[in-house]
Copies of this chain bind each other. A is one copy, B any other.
Amino acid sequence: MKFDWPVQIYWEDTDAGGVVYHSQYLNFMERARTEFLRSLGLMQTLLKDEFGILFVVRDIQIRFKKPAKFDDALNVNTALIKVGRSLLEFEQNIYRGDEHLIAAKVDVVCIGADSFRPVSIPEKMMRLLML
């Protein structure tokens, strides 16, 4: 499963080096994962209300290959590469046109919204992810 999500760079995303501040790319990747889940009908507000679960980031490996700048139009490509009992593994790459700016692997864990401990991904959600 692959999913593209556009991100427009605004002043708030940049720093005095003249480029996008490095931690902002993590925000862009989370926007893209949120929209990826939404595209499958998996709104996180519903997941919390219906199943009492949240998804939290457990591991990130990220390489900053080239910097983005103010007013760039980027594309965040998101691929779900593995689904575990309570784990989702994503590959996320950010592009400006053909230029590859960011390469990342992001592991996300399903936790109880109150317990903050890992729980199984609900079956109903699992079926939508496995299509």
Q: Which A residues are within 8 Å of any B CB, using their own CB?
A: 8, 10-12, 14-19, 21-24, 26-27, 30-31, 34, 43-45, 54, 56-64, 67, 69-71, 113, 116
Contact = CB atoms under 8 A, between A and B. Distances in A.
Q: Which of A15, A34, A69 has the most CB atoms of chain B within a 10 A radius of its CB?
A: A15
B71 A63 contact: no
24 contacts: A11-B21, A11-B34, A12-B15, A12-B23, A12-B27, A12-B30, A12-B31, A14-B15, A14-B16, A15-B16, A22-B26, A22-B56, A22-B60, A23-B23, A23-B24, A23-B27, A23-B30, A43-B71, A44-B71, A59-B61, A59-B63, A60-B60, A60-B62, A67-B116
Main SS of chain A's interface residues?
A: mixed
Nearest to A22: B57
